[in-house]
Every structure is written in C-alpha cells, then in structure tokens.
C-alpha cells in the first residue's frame, strides 16, 4: 500500500493581508514556525510508518507560484517534485482528476489530498487518522476527514456521519454534507455528536476517483484527460493543454463526487474518519491566534515583539520591532509596506480593506515589497521621482535573463559574493565593492557563478521604472513576462 501526497496550492486568498498577497499567498508564509504552511504540509507524513509514502509529492498550482513552490520544497529536501500547472483555476475536483491521472503512471496509489494552507499542530494524531483512512481507501472507499468540533462554528461546512464501521476503529459511514449553518443550527450539530467540520482533506485510490468523476461528471473527466494527454514537461513542471483544461467545468471535490456517493454505492463507500489534531484552515488572523503558542497573558507573537500590559493579542512583526501596550483582544500585523490593526473579533473585515485597495488600483494587495523570482529575490528599498533602489539577491548558480530596458538605466554595486556581468558586448566578473553602469538600451545580464548568494544594490534611473519594461532575449526559466 503506497500513499502519494497531493497538495492543492493554487489559492490566492488575501484574508491574511497584509502578510498574504495575491502573488505570495498564505500557504507560502511561515505563520506558525520556521516552515511555510506549504512546507509543513509536504512534511506532514515524515516518519509515517503505517504505509509506504511516495517520495515525490504531487503539487497542483498555477504559473505564478511555480518557482517559489519548487524552491520551498528544495529547502526541505524534497527532490524532483511533480508540479502540475493549471492554466486557469477550475476548483478542486479537476485538480484532483489531474493528480489521479498523473499518479496512475506510478501504479494505483492511495492519494492523500491536502490543501497547502492548513495548520495541524498534532502531527502524531494526524498520522494515526491517516493510517485509518488508508485502510478504508485500500478497500475502494472514498474517505474524507471530519474535524471533531470544539465549538458551534458557523464559518465551516459540516459532515454528518453514521455509526462506526467496525469496533476496531473510528471510521464512520458518510451520510450527508451541510452548508455553513446559523448559530442555533451549529449548536444543535455539535450537541448531537453526529457532525464534524468539513476539513477538505481526502483519501482514495487514483483509479477509484477517476471512475467516480467519470460517472458523475463525464465532461470534466474528458476535459482533464485531454488536457493531461496534451501535457509537456518543463523541468519539474507539467504544463497542460490549456485549451482543453479551460473547457473543464469548475466544481469542488465535495459537490462533484462526495455528496453524491449515497446514490451510487457501486462506485465505493463514502467514509468519514474523525480528526482531532489541532486543525485550522487559518481563515483569518483570529484563527491564527487560536492555534499559536501564547504567553501567560494569552498573547501570541511572531518576529521581534514586546508586550506591556496586553492580553489575548496577536502581533505579527515582519521587519521591525513592534511594541504592544495596553492591547486587549487585538491583532497587529506589520510588513515593510503596510500595517494592519484590528480588534480580534473583526478580522474577517480585512477583506473590506482589500476590496478598497483593489478599487483604488493599489498594488498592496498584489505583491510585497520583497518579490521572489526563480533566480532569487529583490526588495525595493527606496523609490522617488525617476529613481528606484533595489536590493537584489541571486542564488548560487542562478542567473537573470539576458535583457534590455527602453526607459531606464541601472547602476549595480556588489555587496557580497561575485557577479558575472554581461554589459553590452562585454562580459566580466565583479567582486565586493565593485560596480558597473548599464546604459539605457544596453543588453545586460547578471549571474552568480559562486557558491554563496550574490547580493547587489541596483540603482535605477529613468522616465519609467515598471517591471514590464523588460525585453528578454534569453531566459533559463522560460519566462516571457517580467
């Protein structure tokens, strides 16, 4: 019995703004420890002894996140992951269909389908539940994991389960799914003991899922099959036939299959495995506070934070010291370019601020000041009329594209490492404290031939300094945009 992790990482939610942005969403952030939520998800089966675990997780994501996902997986020792790039978002059912098609090339493993942006604090309890789910999935069942509720939550969907399937385990028959309830209904659900929160985590054999989706939604199955058949390989990335995938209906795993299993028992039994493992979907800042470690006053902190006479407060400091004095039930989030302060009971209203920023055309919802690229990252540390200053870090062995600009000149100063520079017709090396000037219109390239990160300061000057003023002549990473 082999289990293959399938990680769904296409979401671009901004309910954790300003830390989460559309180009760098919450699954890529280290919110509860040193690892990002994606890295924690990928490492969640480490040490799992109940079954073989395929060494290569399968990630479903989009074009924009591909390089940072590959880099984050490399950082935790995941080699040669399979990263499927969706040309458009079509919800979780097509994503799982693509994963199942890819997994069939390795036999017919049991797929463990996990969103990349969940927190699970008790990994041992999680693995115990996964072992039980795998036993059911091995018999052909389609398994979902129901979170044991500790309160009458109105923000989650619910699952109603039947009696345990056998005396030896906790797995139950899947009976019904229910939408987010009102308060009175949620209280009734929790009191009954029959209801669980819908976690969005699933297990089933690849072939079982494909049979079910073909039965319930043949149009989706056909579109995904055609898109996967027309795929091309690009390093760790699997690119689909875009036109075929765009023709797929959009639907969730729940709606497309799981809620309809009772009417088609020949496709496999729906099973719920209860899960009590410190789970949270981290839907807002108050949810992060709830699963974070706290001091004796109920305060949770990330970064350099000082509390004075404060209680039940979350402070997330991204780039500088934050001091919280006399704060009660507050959330403070600091990033280099924005600060958000909210009462802990109002954190869902962050979406209103995001909507206002979008309406005003502000880039603060789209990207951070620090922007990741496949070769490393840059931080726009200062800007004014006709100038911009960037700190650029290039990973060992990496290089930027061979490019030119129509509207700006650049001055590069090496702070750390060795730079290999192409500047017009010349190619040369620069060491620390050395510099070069790139005139407007000159073809140029920056590379790091060394074994340590290359750090430079770039001063741009010109009439237009946008990232779209790039003409690429050659690029290692196959990019056509910026």
Average pLDDT over residues 370-386: 92
Residue ranges in 202-283 assigned as alpha helix (H): 206-216, 218-229, 242-246, 253-256
Tokens 């509860």 locate to 32
**pLDDT (0 to 100) of residue 234:** 82
pLDDT digits 0-9 by tens, 74-97: 999 998 899 999 999 999 999 999
Q: Give Cα separations from 135 to 1, 65, 273 (angstroms).
A: 9, 34, 11
Q: Is the pLDDT of residue 35 over 50?
A: yes
Taking every pair of Cα atoms in the chain, the longest distance, rounded to a whole number of angstroms, is 77
Q: Give Cα separations from 268 to 94, 137, 215, 331, 368 (angstroms).
A: 19, 9, 12, 45, 46
Residue 426, classified by CB atoms within 10 Å of its CB into exposed (0-12), middle (13-18) or buried (19+), is exposed
**pLDDT (0 to 100) of residue 424:** 95
Provide the token pair at 457. Answer: 């300061």
In terms of DSSP bridges, do strands 408-416 and 270-275 run parallel, antiparallel, or are they unpaired?
unpaired
- The phi, psi pair for 181, rounded to 5°, reads -90, 170
Q: From 305, 311, 307, select the one nearest 333 (Cα to Cα).
A: 305
Q: From 273, 248, 264, select the one nearest 112 (Cα to Cα).
A: 273
Q: Is the pLDDT of residue 262 over 90?
A: no
Sketch the domain layout of the chain as residue ranges: 2-280, 293-359, 370-474
Average pLDDT over residues 389-399: 96
DSSP string covering 453-475: -EEEEEEEEES---TT--EEEE-
**pLDDT (0 to 100) of residue 140:** 96
pLDDT digits 0-9 by tens, 10-24: 877 778 999 999 999
d(CA 480, CA 482): 7
299 contacts 312 by C-beta, under 8 angstroms: yes
Q: From 400, 408, 391, select the one nearest 458 (Cα to Cα).
A: 391
- pTM of the complete model: 0.90
Task: For residue 424, count other CB atoms closer than 10 A to its CB.
Answer: 12
d(CA 460, CA 371): 17
Q: Which helix (H) or strand (E) holds 136?
A: helix 123-138
pLDDT digits 0-9 by tens, 95-105: 999 999 999 99
**pLDDT (0 to 100) of residue 482:** 46
Q: Is the pLDDT of residue 323 over 90?
A: yes
Residues of the chain with pLDDT > 70, as a percent, come to 99
d(CA 192, CA 204): 28
Residue 425, classified by CB atoms within 10 Å of its CB into exposed (0-12), middle (13-18) or buried (19+), is exposed
Residues of the chain with pLDDT > 90, as a percent, come to 87
Instruction: pLDDT band for 38, please (50, 70, 90 cuts).
Output: very high
Mean pLDDT of the chain: 94
Decide if domain 2-280 falls under CATH 3.40.50.2020.
Answer: no
What is the distance, to the nearest Å, from the Cα of residue 419 to the centroid of all Cα atoms in its chain? Answer: 32
d(CA 321, CA 305): 6
**pLDDT (0 to 100) of residue 145:** 98
Give bridge partners of residue 163 from the DSSP assignment: none
d(CA 15, CA 351): 6
Dihedral in degrees, nearest 10, Cα atoms 187, 191, 192, 196: 70
253 contacts 209 by C-beta, under 8 angstroms: no
Average pLDDT over residues 333-347: 97
Decide which of 3.40.640.10, 3.30.530.20, 2.60.120.10, 3.65.10.10 is the CATH code for 370-474: 2.60.120.10
Q: From 458, 470, 388, 60, select the one nearest 237 (Cα to Cα).
A: 60
**pLDDT (0 to 100) of residue 236:** 77
Q: How far is the first Cα of the chain from the last one, in angstroms, to the nearest whole number?
A: 44
Q: From 256, 209, 253, 222, select the one nearest 109 (Cα to Cα).
A: 209
> Residue 328 in 3-state DSSP?
strand
2-280 against 370-474: fold identical: no
**pLDDT (0 to 100) of residue 481:** 52
pLDDT digits 0-9 by tens, 469-479: 999 999 988 87
Provide the token pair at 191. Answer: 């009191």
Q: From 243, 242, 244, 253, select the one nearest 86 (Cα to Cα).
A: 242
Q: From 266, 216, 241, 238, select the one nearest 93 (Cα to Cα).
A: 216
**pLDDT (0 to 100) of residue 92:** 97
**pLDDT (0 to 100) of residue 263:** 82
């Amino acid at each position: 019995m082999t289990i293959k992790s399938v990680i769904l990482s296409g979401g671009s939610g901004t309910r954790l703004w300003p830390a989460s942005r559309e180009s760098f969403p919450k699954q890529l952030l280290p919110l509860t420890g040193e690892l990002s939520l994606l890295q924690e998800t990928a490492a969640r089966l480490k040490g799992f002894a109940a079954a073989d675990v395929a060494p290569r997780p399968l990630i479903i994501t989009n074009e924009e996140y591909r390089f940072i996902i590959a880099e984050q997986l490399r950082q935790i020792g995941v080699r040669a992951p399979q990263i499927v790039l969706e040309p458009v978002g079509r919800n979780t059912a097509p994503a799982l269909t693509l994963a199942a098609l890819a997994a069939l090339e390795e036999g017919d493993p049991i797929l463990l389908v996990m969103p990349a942006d969940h927190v699970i604090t008790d990994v041992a309890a999680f693995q115990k539940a996964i072992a039980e789910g795998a036993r059911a999935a091995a018999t052909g069942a389609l398994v979902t994991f129901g979170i044991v509720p500790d309160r009458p939550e109105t923000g989650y969907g619910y699952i109603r389960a039947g009696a345990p399937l056998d005396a030896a385990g906790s797995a139950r028959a899947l009976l019904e799914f229910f939408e987010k309830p009102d308060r009175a209904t949620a209280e009734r659900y929790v009191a009954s003991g029959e209801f669980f929160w819908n976690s969005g985590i699933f297990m089933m054999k690849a072939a079982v899922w494909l049979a079910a989706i073909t039965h319930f939604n043949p149009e989706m199955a056909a579109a995904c099959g055609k898109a996967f058949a027309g795929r091309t390989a690009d390093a760790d990335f699997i690119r689909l036939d875009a036109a075929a995938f765009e023709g797929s209906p959009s639907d969730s795993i729940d709606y497309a299959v799981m809620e309809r299993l009772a009417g088609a028992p020949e496709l496999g039994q729906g099973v719920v495995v209860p899960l009590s493992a410190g789970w949270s979907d981290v839907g807002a800042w108050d949810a992060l506070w709830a699963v974070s470690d706290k001091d004796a006053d109920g305060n949770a902190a990330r970064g350099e934070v000082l509390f004075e006479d404060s209680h039940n407060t979350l402070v997330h400091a991204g780039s500088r010291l934050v001091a919280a004095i006399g704060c009660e039930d507050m959330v403070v989030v600091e990033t280099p370019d924005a600060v958000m302060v909210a009462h802990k009971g109002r954190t869902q209203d962050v979406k209103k601020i995001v909507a206002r920023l979008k309406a005003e055309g502000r880039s603060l919802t789209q990207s951070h000041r620090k922007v990741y690229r496949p070769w490393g990252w840059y931080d726009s540390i200062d800007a004014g009329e006709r100038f911009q200053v960037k700190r650029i870090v290039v990973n060992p062995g990496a290089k930027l594209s061979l490019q030119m600009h129509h509207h700006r000149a650049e001055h590069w100063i090496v702070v750390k490492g060795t730079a290999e520079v192409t500047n017009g017709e010349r190619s040369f090396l620069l060491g620390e404290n050395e510099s070069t000037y790139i005139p407007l219109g000159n073809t140029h390239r920056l590379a790091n031939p060394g074994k340590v990160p290359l750090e430079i300061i770039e001063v741009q000057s010109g009439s237009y300094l946008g990232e779209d003023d790039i003409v690429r002549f050659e690029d290692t990473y196959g990019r056509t945009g910026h």
